[in-house]
Every structure is written in structure tokens, then in C-alpha cells.
Amino acid sequence: MKLSHPETAAPADAATRRAIAPVVAYPPETLPAPDLALYRAARGGAEKVAEIVIAPRDAGCFEVPAGSFFRITCIEGPQVGDLNLWNAANLSERFYSGKTRALHGTHLSTGDRMWSSLPWMRPIATITADTLDWYGFDSFGGSVHDVIGTRCDPYTNRLLAGGTYHHCCHSNLTRALAEARNLAPAEAEALVHDVLNVFMCTGFVPETGQYFMKASPVRPGDYLEMFAEIDLLGSLSACPGGDCSTEHSSDTAACHPMLVEVFRPAAGALAGWHSPEPNSYDRSHGL
């Protein structure tokens, strides 16, 4: 956070320097564009092949084959979910929140893609439907589905509030992955990563840049849907913060279950689509 009373005097040309117009750091226009029309046509004839209900203050894993869709739905009351995605065949390749943010902005919606970690760095999922896309940005600068938060975790909670709490999203995701892949807790924990905050409403306080949250506008029936570009293992935690209107990392907030469904398109519905290859950079790094 910037000092409210800086220790360094502003230079004579401070106003000129501040007046320089920004440029978008990573213009995404040259990225390979998803064929949303093709995806939507395929989704139209898709059949549901699996579902999992995520219990409040807990997480669950699910598999989504490349070329299938998964939908995360709010079912009983406002609830935010913390989403992790891995390459189902190689858990080292996982969702890269920071680069996704640099490419698509602080909050994601339809047409945005979830990018994977280096050195693979490819789109591993594409958002195909978002019933909260009407929200846009509110007067506080808040919006939904952010890639700016990380996930609530017991370490930060211990520093800020003390005590021991086992149902932060970080721990929920760790337990779910350990169970799904029969991993030791420490192995699973190391694979848990920064999330997509599904349905969470967040932003930055303009004056200080501090991360804020506010009550999610999500209501039962709202959903976020994605197309799996590669074989995915997903994990979703129903955050102990509930709608994240007050606090997380405790059993105080009202929490609700969430539904994840997987849909498989009909054979031939994705003609012309190919699962993206890993990034083609040769990894020699100038050596």
C-alpha cells in the first residue's frame, strides 16, 4: 500500500510524468481466438455425463475430457467458489491466474480463456457462458469472477486472526486433490494454486489499491460454463465466506452447496477443433 504521506518530495515534472497515457501491456488481439460459435453449437447437442455437488466449506474434484463442457451453478443461495484446474495427465501444468489476469484483465467472462503455467502456457479452458455478465463493473470498481485474489488459506488467517481453521479454500482444495489422486497432504498442497474466484465480487479500493470483496450478486440458477480445451482435473471449493459479504476463514458466514455438471457434445460436433498444443517456445532461454 502506498504511503499516504510520501517520504520523497515530488519532482518538478511530477504532473507531466503522471499525465502520460497508459498502454495495454498485453493486447490480446493477436492471441488465437476461440471459435465460440462452434463451441455453442456443440453445447446445444451435448448430453450431461456427470455431476458433483460441492458441500459448503468443502471442495470436490471432477474430470472434464478435452472437448467437453463443465458448468458451475449456484443452487441454494449466494455462494462463491474457488476453482483450480490441472492438466489431468500432468498436474504440474495448472491454471496460471497471474498471466490470465495480464492477458484478460482482473475479472473474466464469456470468451476469456484460462491459461496454464509456464512452460506449457496454452488455453486449457474457455468461458462459454456467464449469467452474471450483466454485472459489468459497479460504482466501487467491483466485478465478478476475479483472478486477483488467491484463495483463503489457514496461514494468512493465522497471521491476521490467530487460531487454526481447517476449512479455508486452500485446505479444502488440498483435501479434495489428496483424495482424488491418492496423494500425501504435502504433495497435494504443493499442487494447489491461485484460483478463479467464481461468482465472487471483488475489486481494488481506488485510493489505496487494497483488495476488497462485497456481497456476491449471484443467485440460485446463475452459472458459469467453460469448454475444456485439454483433459482437465478440476477442483471447486465452496468458500467458507459464503457470499463473501463479511468474512471468510471462519464458520460465521452462511454457506451453500454448489453444483458442477459435465456435458459431452455429440460425436462430430467439434469438427475442425483441435486441443491446443503446449507453447512452442523452445525453452533454450538464450543459453
- What is the contact surface with Zn ion in residues (CB under 5 A)? 152, 169, 239, 248
Nearest to 193 by CA among 108, 84, 106, 119: 84
Please report how close the Cβ of residue 90 comes to Zn ion at its closest, in angstroms. 26
- Tell me the C-alpha distance between 17 and 11, whole Å: 9
Please report how close the Cβ of residue 151 comes to Zn ion at its closest, in angstroms. 6
Please report how close the Cβ of residue 168 comes to Zn ion at its closest, in angstroms. 6
Give me the phi and psi of 7, to 5 degrees please.
-85, -15
Instruction: Using the minimum distance from each CB to Zn ion, give the nearer residue, 192 or 262.
Output: 192
C-alpha grid cell, residue 233: 482435473
C-alpha grid cell, residue 89: 495427465
Please report how close the Cβ of residue 187 comes to Zn ion at its closest, in angstroms. 22
Instruction: Using the minimum distance from each CB to Zn ion, give the nearer residue, 169 or 232.
Output: 169
Q: Which amino acid is at 112?
A: D
Please report how close the Cβ of residue 127 comes to Zn ion at its closest, in angstroms. 20
Instruction: Using the minimum distance from each CB to Zn ion, give the nearer residue, 230 or 239.
Output: 239
Instruction: Using the minimum distance from each CB to Zn ion, give the nearer residue, 192 or 239.
Output: 239
- Tell me the C-alpha distance between 162 and 236, whole Å: 26
Please report how close the Cβ of residue 82 comes to Zn ion at its closest, in angstroms. 5
- Tell me the C-alpha distance between 234 and 72, whole Å: 11
- Tell me the C-alpha distance between 272 and 200, whole Å: 35
Instruction: Using the minimum distance from each CB to Zn ion, give the nearer residue, 149 or 265.
Output: 149
- Tell me the C-alpha distance between 100 and 103, whole Å: 5
Give me the phi and psi of 24, to 5 degrees please.
-65, 125
Instruction: Using the minimum distance from each CB to Zn ion, give the nearer residue, 143 or 202.
Output: 202
